[in-house]
Amino acid sequence: MKPGIKIPDFNEVPFIVIWELTQACELHCLHCRAEAQTKRNPYELSTAEGKALIDDIAYMEYPMLVFTGGDPLMREDVFELAEYAVEKGVRVSMTPSATPNVTKAAMQKAKDVGLSRWAFSLDGHNKQIHDHFRGTEGSFDLTMQAIKYLNELEMPLQINTVISNYNIEYLEEMKAMVEELNCVLWSVFFLVPTGRGKNEDMITPAQHEQVFRWLNKIKDDVPFDIKTTAAQHYRRVVIQDQMRKNRADKDAQIRYMDALSAGKTGTIDGLGRAPKGVNDGNGFVFISHIGHVYPSGLLPVNCGNVRVDKLSDIYRESPILQNLRNPDKYKGKCGVCEFRYVCGGSRSRAYAATGDYMESEPYCVYIPKEWRKKKQLTT
């Protein structure tokens, strides 16, 4: 991307690159998309291959890089890779698992090498809910201890929460805890049935809508930013509310920026919010531990491998990714929805439910205007 361009072309460069450093992890989470194992895979990208990947990400200039897993701390070279990325000018964040690997010394090292933000998962306001969901007794206590260390080191904290049937009744309690923990960003994930994730653990389409409306209601009254994952239709709920408040006419322009809360995330750690709507393969790309490139970790459709081609080339030229970046090609009601350019539905959930990543979002209750017209013409 050329210097000076503030809003990137997602056909050329992604906003976020997620790199699964390893699938090794000591937790046994019920929803784990990676179906993580306790041992590292000997075919993981090497340190040298990882640095070559970082060089390519730096060449694209714009993307932020997130180290994930498994548990990225299961790799001895994680801080070497982080430091290398920071030196190349790449903004770096990490989402480690709350295990005994998360020591205060490890956090201090992360801060010393210039890691911008640390994210922890909290899926319940108490140990009973969280530990059950994470499949490991003691995970809640370890997470709370780690967050205490993080606050002592004055590092920005992001909390990730997966909404499921296990915790949907306790959202108010979760909100209070996130605020108490001095979090800068609450990233709210909505379960996709892939990996260990199961359909029966998902909340219903109507419950999705209820949670979206609740998040929209609280977003301006909390001291942290809120973002959603695998819930692109949350943007539609926020924009609809803005349009009602502004008494917009029926032909008013639908803008993604209206879906963003005016938070402080970017001013605190440099990891700002995307200037356009991100979706699987559209401003977002995932590299597996063995180099496969997917539209996202929740959409495991192989688009290439960084051991064969550069990530920048795969991202631009993959027919799969090109299709995902064209909402006019989406099927069903998503393809005609007036919100398709700012929303587009979860391509991951469409794939998990139907086997077709271009199909309509199956957990959205909204009926687009054009869809209603079609229904009226056929009745």
* The pLDDT of residue 269: 39
Where do the domains of the chain lie?
A: 16-329
Name the residue with higher pLDDT: 121 or 195.
121
Q: What is the pLDDT of residue 372?
A: 86
Indicate whether 208 pLDDT > 60: yes
Tokens coding 107 = 């956090």
pTM score, whole prediction:
0.89
Least confident of 42-46, 62-66, 372-376: 372-376
- pLDDT of res. 296: 95
Q: Is the pLDDT of residue 142 over 80?
A: yes
Give the pLDDT confidence score for residue 3 in this predicted structure.
43
pLDDT at 27: 73
CA angle 334, 338, 342 (to 5 degrees): 80
Q: Please state the φ and ψ torsions of residue 74, each to the nearest 5 degrees.
A: -75, -10
The answer on pLDDT for 1 being more than 50 is no
Least confident of 142-151, 199-208, 244-253: 244-253
Integer CA distances (angstroms), 190 to 164, 193, 245, in order: 7, 10, 27
The pLDDT value recorded for residue 2 is 38
What's the mean pLDDT when you consider all of the chain? 88
Instruction: Evaluate if residue 181 carries a pLDDT over 90.
Output: yes
| Distance in angstroms between the alpha carbons of the first and the last residue of the chain | 50
Share of the chain above pLDDT 70, in %: 87
Q: Report percent pLDDT > 90 for the chain.
A: 69
What's residue 326's pLDDT? 96
What span, in angstroms and rounded, lies between the C-alpha atoms of 325 and 345? 12
**pLDDT of 89-105, one tens digit each?**
999 988 888 888 889 99
pLDDT at 245 over 90: no
Backbone φ and ψ of 76, nearest 5°: -70, -25
pLDDT tens digits, 261-298? 555 544 433 344 555 678 999 999 999 999 999 999 99
Fold classified for 16-329: TIM Barrel (3.20.20)
